[in-house]
A and B are shown apart, each in its own frame.
Chain A
Amino acid sequence: MRFLLRRLGFFVLTLWAALTINFAIPRMLPGSPVDALIAKFHGRLTGAPLQAMEAELGFNNHQSMLDQYGLYLKNCATLHFGVSSSQFPASVDSIVGAAIPWTLALVGVTTVLAFLLGTALGAVAAWKRGGKLDSILPPLFVIGTGLPYFWIGIMLIMFFADINPWLPSAFGSDSDVVQGWNGAFIQSVLLHAILPAASLLITSIGGWVLTMRNTMVTTLAEDYIRMARAKGLPSWRIMLDYAARNSILPNVTGFAMSMGFVVSGAVAVEYVFSYPGVGYQMVQAVDNEDFPVMQCLFLVITVAVLVSVLISDIATAILDPRTRSAR
């Protein structure tokens, strides 16, 4: 219980840090969002409309920094993120809200797949240490972790969409199908998700394989494994119940860490595939100097990563009795 409370405290603290960074960065660096907006309207924006815009963006020169900060925190808590400056007067919430489901589905499914596949492969590689799989997989995945996500995406488009026109290379679905719960739309979405998901899978699976393999190699040297062998247990039981079960913990804790990496990768991959998710919107917002949308997207991504960290903490507490008694 105490462990979970500590982690919850950490969650709140990190969230506050992210909020504050988000508040401070635009105010510390030269070139404020308001300047960008004025430049966009070629100086024709003055007087009352300008002040209204500034207030909408949270930049009010007549307020002290502390008041601005208070108002900003209040707006974040009430999910009031203002209006987009590039797609004025669309609200930030509507733009971001439309992007979230796409990323959630893409990143969620690929992360779970990478975790399951990678852990299984790592366990088998460690069990047959020095065997064929173990001599091929780890070096391959060491190189794989160094591959740039977006370039894998480009190469997949090249081979599977341009040279062989088998799969769609851009957007989340075909534009001529009606969005909703109908077969045609779901099929279109799945087809469009194959290549982006594959690019994420190829680069992120290596981490799981290597962590699992390396932990399990250490576990296999433990005395209780020899004991299990001496008892004459079937080897699949030793592998699953004794070795794999005791080695999976770093992978579960690593789940949180890897969420950050996968989300980062997803930003680049979505850009390559013009996939209408959070990452693509973020790059668009940066290109258009649409700071309100950019800030909101950064917060959404951070909250998603923090929540997954919290979930993996809870999972660790359930799986590892030692953490429960830890002070």
Chain B
Amino acid sequence: MTNLLKSIRHNGKAVAGLVIMLVFLVMALVPNLIVSGNPATDTKAVSLGMSSKHWLGTTAFGQDIWLQVVHGARPALLIAIISGLLATVLSVLIGVGAAYLGGVWDDALNLFTDVVLVLPTLPLVIVIAGYFSQHSISVMIVVLVVTGWSYGARQLRSQALSLRNRDFLEAARVRGERSSYIIIFELLPNMTSLIVANFLGAALYSLLTASTLEFIGLGDTSSYDWGTMLYWAENNSALQTGAYVWAAAPGLCIALLAAGFALLNNAFDEISNPALRPVRRLRVATS
């Protein structure tokens, strides 16, 4: 654990990703610490530019954009983290299950994973979401989990396969431990970094897909998600009327949060795969 913390501290990408995450976490947990007011309130001042009263101006409905941007962090993180977690649980169950059970089970689960993997996700997500008449956060999460687990399952399966015949697992089996004990206490702890990386990847996928769905009007249009903000900006011709901040700010937040997930994911990749770490030799030579 201390080793893990140490390698995070020495990895610039991990630090940058963590700082971004922390800022958005504060926005999501205690938005009233940063702003005060209701994002739905109509201030009667329509389409204002940036000012000291309205930092990012107001929308065509007279709502404060900065207020909406801060309040948008909570649903964004909520969707990303919950669907990321659920998708990862599904990946672990199917991927590690397939590798550990082996034989016919492995063939069947692996084939199933491959089929889900190649189906184009966004069109599938749009089709599923299109049939739901109401678009709540829970519908969104279900759709994202159903389509987002397959990549992780494949990666986890191949790592579990390579671990399956190691001596320490053999020793546990000889000791007469039950399969459930071996999987939970012996196998999974050795896959922690890959599981964490998978969670980050799944969360990133969920964030981007959810934002896209909200943007094309398949989200909860009465909420203040960043994607929904963009939907209203697009529907009110924000770009054509010069309301550039309205179209830029929510997207910038999505991009920043996504960059946070992507940076952390990449950093975990480097930590778990020593071959990708920057060459130390070169650094010594230049200093």
- Within the complex, the shortest CB–CB distance from B18 to chain A, in Å, comes to 15
CB pair B258–A301 under 8 Å, yes or no, is: no
Contact of B255 among A151, A221, A306 (CB under 8 A): A151
Number of A-B residue pairs with CB-CB distance less than 8 Å in the complex they form = 151
Contact of A29 among B131, B239, B263, B266 (CB under 8 A): B131
CB pair B248–A30 under 8 Å, yes or no, is: no
The yes or no answer to A225 lying at the interface (CB within 8 A) is no
CB pair A283–B216 under 8 Å, yes or no, is: yes
Contact of B258 among A146, A285, A291, A294 (CB under 8 A): A146
Which of B45-53, B114-122, B171-179 forms part of the interface with chain A? B114-122
Inter-chain CA distance A31–B131, complex, in Å, is 7
Q: Check A256/B124 contact, CB under 8 A, given A29-B131, A142-B263, A148-B255.
A: no
Q: Count of chain B residues with Cβ under 8 Å from any Cβ of A?
A: 50
The yes or no answer to B60 lying at the interface (CB within 8 A) is no
Most A Cβ at <10 Å: residue of B117, B262, B275, B278: B262
The yes or no answer to A260 lying at the interface (CB within 8 A) is yes
CB pair B282–A130 under 8 Å, yes or no, is: yes
CB pair B230–A149 under 8 Å, yes or no, is: no
Most B Cβ at <10 Å: residue of A151, A162, A272, A294: A151
The yes or no answer to A282 lying at the interface (CB within 8 A) is yes
CB pair A14–B119 under 8 Å, yes or no, is: yes
Task: For B218, list chain A residues within 8 Å (CB).
Answer: 286
Inter-chain CA distance A268–B25, complex, in Å, is 28
CB pair B240–A31 under 8 Å, yes or no, is: no
Inter-chain CA distance A18–B247, complex, in Å, is 36
CB pair A268–B121 under 8 Å, yes or no, is: no
The yes or no answer to A302 lying at the interface (CB within 8 A) is yes
Task: For A263, list chain B residues within 8 Å (CB).
Answer: 120, 122-123
Task: For A287, list chain B residues within 8 Å (CB).
Answer: 217
Which of A75-83, A85-93, A152-160, A240-248 forms part of the interface with chain B? A152-160
CB pair B255–A147 under 8 Å, yes or no, is: yes
A contact patch SS? helix
CB pair A129–B114 under 8 Å, yes or no, is: no
CB pair B119–A282 under 8 Å, yes or no, is: no
Chain A interface size, as a band, is: 35 or more
* 0/1 interface trace, chain A 274-305, chain B, CB 8 Å (1 if under): 00000100110111010100110110011001
Inter-chain CA distance A162–B211, complex, in Å, is 24
Contact of A14 among B118, B230, B234, B240 (CB under 8 A): B118
Task: For B242, list chain A residues within 8 Å (CB).
Answer: 162
- Within the complex, the shortest CB–CB distance from A159 to chain B, in Å, comes to 10
- Within the complex, the shortest CB–CB distance from A250 to chain B, in Å, comes to 14
Inter-chain CA distance A287–B231, complex, in Å, is 13
CB pair A286–B212 under 8 Å, yes or no, is: no
The yes or no answer to B133 lying at the interface (CB within 8 A) is yes
Inter-chain CA distance A29–B127, complex, in Å, is 11
The yes or no answer to A238 lying at the interface (CB within 8 A) is no
Task: For B258, list chain A residues within 8 Å (CB).
Answer: 146-148
Inter-chain CA distance A310–B212, complex, in Å, is 28
Task: For A289, list chain B residues within 8 Å (CB).
Answer: 130
- In the complex, the chain A residue whose C-beta lies closest to that of B227 is A148
CB pair B122–A267 under 8 Å, yes or no, is: yes
Spell out A's residues near B (CB within 8 Å). 10, 13-14, 17-18, 21-22, 25-26, 29-31, 129-130, 139, 142-143, 145-151, 154-155, 157-158, 162-163, 169, 214, 217-218, 221, 256-257, 260, 263-265, 267-268, 271-272, 279, 282-283, 285-287, 289, 291, 294-295, 297-298, 301-302, 305-306, 309
- 23 A-B pairs within 8 Å (CB atoms) are namely A13-B115, A29-B132, A31-B133, A142-B259, A143-B263, A147-B255, A148-B215, A149-B212, A150-B212, A150-B230, A154-B239, A154-B247, A162-B239, A163-B244, A257-B118, A264-B123, A268-B215, A272-B234, A283-B126, A294-B126, A294-B130, A295-B127, A309-B118
Spell out B's residues near A (CB within 8 Å). 13, 111, 114-115, 117-124, 126-133, 204, 208, 211-212, 215-218, 230, 234, 239-240, 242, 244, 247-248, 251, 254-255, 258-259, 261-263, 266, 275-276, 278-279, 282
Pick the 5 closest A-B CB pairs, nearest first: A264-B122, A146-B258, A151-B251, A146-B262, A286-B130
